[in-house]
Amino acid sequence: ASRPLDGFLISVVGPLTNLALAVVFWLTFQAQPTFTVPALLLYAAAFSNAFVGFFNLLPGLPLDGGQILEAAVWAATGSRTK
């Protein structure tokens, strides 16, 4: 990325996509009869997407959270290497 905002936006899209998918799968799961195979698959998809989304937000490299933190420091200091 050539600017801090670009790096931030690129890094935040992945976790937000996972969290949005988790919500969609959870809402679809809620509309299903319980303890059916499709309902359990939707539950697993919701849980796994939520887990991956939150895990990727951890502030450590090479996770997206680390990239977000790096972009924030870059924006605050004006230098990518400080």
Instruction: Give the model confidence (pLDDT) of 63-74 as tens digits.
Output: 999 999 999 999
Evaluate whether residue 82 is within a structural domain: no
Residue 81 belongs to some domain of the structure:
no
Question: Which value, to the nearest 10 degrees, does the dihedral of the CA atoms of residues 80, 55, 58, 54 take?
Answer: 100
If one counts the domains in the chain, the total is: 1
Is 20 a member of any domain?
yes
Q: How many whole angstroms separate alpha carbon 77 and alpha carbon 72?
A: 9
Which domain range does residue 14 map to?
4-76
Q: Is the pLDDT of residue 52 over 90?
A: yes
Task: Express each pLDDT in 22-46 by its tens digit.
Answer: 999 999 999 999 889 999 999 999 9
